[in-house]
């Protein structure tokens, strides 16, 4: 059979073609297939906790798993999102405590992973975030006010996923992974060059959808990056009770895709690892599983009390690894982050926070009957009856108040 003739799916020739392609994936890096699919022995880290560049021996790289340091220009642009992301997290956390927002799952401490997930993608690529990933959605260019209406509880969804190529923030765990796989497959059938990045938490990796998404993506060699933020907890369930695997990145090899583990608080390492995964996906060498080793610094949401399941000393240990402080020190060290640039970025972040405060403190007129809009194109008789009942109750309340 010539190289240009596709093998008939399911035949021995097809199996041989797949095997050859898989072998080539490792060969391109001078390593075996197994070495290519398995994560490097240690997690990839480029910048130390004190903000200094690590030596090649300390970076965790090994043959076939080398990751060049991104340029100062790339890092500075991403750093701007990092500062804004931290400010948004802390502003929203405060707004919840003030009763101005219904709920906010903060990613304080995870902002480097959030930002890297967004900025590694090209304009036509798609991001599939979870409820935790507001900072990634904003870093992708969605207006923070449009994101926050869902958390304020005033509207189902405030931005158009198709306009921004950002899916809705999924609350049912892991559904977004299958959506990412489906979109990648559909784009391929249409001949479109699209990479999908699906975000997921450590807890989500125990869901059946996780297995199905990885398997389908690997079998069909789809350009999808599964980006796991291992923040050590699924609400109160610690990682030790979530998985007995050596790491979550090791889960990749069983499905036939490549996995890598990266310091999730090191923006430079994240951009390097995710950047290579995006490039390889575009070259037809996807999918990938990337595990970010990070930590949720604040409560799961405002309904959670983390002091009931973790020690202060553990939180303190992770505070020392803060992604923002680390990148500030690094970029100051290289001279890229001058006082002037820093002041401008801080001002940009304050402007975003002020807009959020103003919007969330404004009283909104809500029509409870809107709850029934957009559920079905043609209302079901049951919903129509419920709507009529609510309308009647509302009019009675209005009469009593008058």
Ligand X SMILES: Cc1ncc(C[n+]2csc(CCOP(=O)(O)OP(=O)(O)O)c2C)c(N)n1
Q: Which residues are catalytic?
A: 296, 300, 309
Candidates 60, 70, 201, 275: give the one binding Mg ion (CB under 5 A). 201
Candidates 13, 235, 359, 371: give the one binding ligand X (CB under 6 A). 235
Taking CB under 6 A as the binding criterion, the range among 38-46, 121-129, 170-178, 332-340 that sits at the site for ligand X is 170-178
Shortest distance, CB of residue 158 to Mg ion, whole angstroms?
25
Candidates 202, 260, 263, 291: give the one binding Mg ion (CB under 5 A). 202
Q: Does 109 bind ligand X (CB under 6 A)?
A: no
Shortest distance, CB of residue 309 to Mg ion, whole angstroms?
12
With contacts defined by CB under 6 A, how many residues of the chain interact with ligand X?
14
Q: Does 233 bind ligand X (CB under 6 A)?
A: yes
- Binding string, 197-216, against ligand X, x = CB under 6 A? ----xxxx------------
Backbone angles phi, psi at 120, to 5 degrees: -75, -15
Q: Does 275 bind ligand X (CB under 6 A)?
A: no
359 binds, among Mg ion, ligand X, none (CB under 5 to 8 A by kind): none
Nearest to 249 by CA among 279, 274, 219, 216: 274
Q: How many CB atoms lie within 10 A of CB 100?
A: 16
Candidates 95, 117, 173, 269: give the one binding ligand X (CB under 6 A). 173
338 preceded by cis ω (within 30°)? no
Give the nearer residue to Mg ion in terms of CB position, either 201 or 264.
201
Give the nearer residue to Mg ion in terms of CB position, either 45 or 231.
231
Q: Does 105 bind Mg ion (CB under 5 A)?
A: no
Give the nearer residue to ligand X in terms of CB position, either 206 or 379.
206
Of 289-318, binders to ligand X (CB under 6 A) are: 296, 300
Q: How many CB atoms lie within 10 A of CB 181?
A: 26
Backbone angles phi, psi at 222, to 5 degrees: -85, 150
Alpha-carbon distance values, 218 to 178, 215, 252, 257 (Å): 13, 5, 9, 6
- Where b means 16+ CB within 10 Å and e means fewer, 204-227 reads bbbbebbbebbebbbeebbbbbbb
* Rounded Cα gap, residues 135 and 112, in angstroms: 10
Candidates 32, 98, 157, 171: give the one binding ligand X (CB under 6 A). 171
173 binds, among Mg ion, ligand X, none (CB under 5 to 8 A by kind): ligand X
Residue nearest ligand X, Cβ-based: 201
Is the alpha carbon torsion for 19, 21, 22, 23 positive or negative?
positive
* Rounded Cα gap, residues 237 and 371, in angstroms: 34
Which residue in the block uniquely carries the two structure tokens 């036939």? 256
DSSP-based helix, strand, coil % in the chain, nearest 5? 50, 10, 40
Shortest distance, CB of residue 291 to ligand X, whole angstroms?
12
* Rounded Cα gap, residues 57 and 303, in angstroms: 43
Candidates 43, 65, 87, 132: give the one binding ligand X (CB under 6 A). 132
Of 313-352, binders to ligand X (CB under 6 A) are: none
Backbone angles phi, psi at 44, to 5 degrees: -85, 125
Q: Does 322 bind Mg ion (CB under 5 A)?
A: no
Shortest distance, CB of residue 165 to ligand X, whole angstroms?
22
Of 211-250, binders to Mg ion (CB under 5 A) are: 231, 234
* Rounded Cα gap, residues 79 and 115, in angstroms: 8
Residues in contact with Mg ion by CB under 5 A are: 201-202, 231, 234
Residues in contact with ligand X by CB under 6 A are: 132, 171-173, 201-204, 231, 233-235, 296, 300
């Amino acid at each position: 059979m010539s190289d240009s003739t596709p093998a008939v799916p399911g035949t021995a020739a097809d199996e041989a073609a797949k095997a050859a392609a898989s072998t080539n994936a490792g060969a391109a890096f001078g390593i075996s297939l197994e070495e290519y699919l398995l994560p490097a022995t240690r997690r990839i880290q480029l910048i130390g906790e004190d903000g200094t560049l690590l030596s090649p021996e300390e970076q965790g790289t090994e043959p076939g798993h080398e990751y060049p340091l991104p340029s100062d220009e790339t890092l500075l642009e991403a750093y701007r999102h990092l500062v804004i992301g931290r400010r948004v997290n802390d502003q929203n956390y405060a707004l919840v405590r003030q009763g101005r927002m219904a709920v906010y799952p903060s990613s304080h401490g995870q902002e480097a992973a959030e930002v890297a997930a967004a900025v590694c993608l090209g304009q036509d690529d798609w991001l599939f975030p979870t409820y935790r990933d507001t900072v990634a959605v904003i870093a992708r260019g969605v207006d923070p006010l449009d994101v926050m209406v869902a958390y304020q509880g005033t509207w189902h969804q405030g931005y158009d996923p198709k306009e921004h190529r950002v899916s809705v923030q999924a609350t049912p765990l892991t559904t977004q992974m299958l959506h990412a796989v489906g979109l990648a497959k559909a784009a391929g059938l249409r001949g479109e060059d699209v990479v999908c990045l699906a975000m997921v938490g450590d807890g989500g990796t125990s869901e059946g959808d996780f297995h199905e998404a990885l398997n389908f993506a690997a079998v069909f060699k789809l350009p999808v990056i599964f980006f796991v933020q291992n923040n050590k907890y699924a609400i109160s369930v610690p990682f030790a009770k979530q998985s007995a695997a050596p790491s979550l990145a090791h889960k990749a090899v069983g499905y036939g895709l490549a996995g890598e583990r990266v310091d999730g608080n090191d923006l430079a390492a994240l951009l390097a690892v995710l950047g290579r995964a995006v490039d390889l996906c575009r070259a037809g060498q996807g999918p990938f599983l990337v595990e970010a080793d990070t930590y949720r610094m604040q409560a799961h949401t405002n309904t959670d009390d983390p002091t009931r399941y973790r020690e202060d000393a553990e939180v303190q240990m992770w505070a020392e690894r803060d992604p923002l402080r680390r990148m500030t020190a690094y970029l100051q060290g290289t001279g890229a982050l001058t006082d002037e640039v820093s002041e401008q970025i801080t001002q940009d972040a304050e402007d975003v926070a002020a807009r959020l405060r103003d919007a969330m403190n404004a009283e909104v007129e809500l029509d409870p009957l809107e709850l029934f809009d957009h559920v079905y194109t043609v209302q079901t008789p049951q919903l129509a009856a419920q709507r009529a009942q609510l309308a009647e109750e509302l009019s009675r309340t209005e009469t009593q108040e008058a």
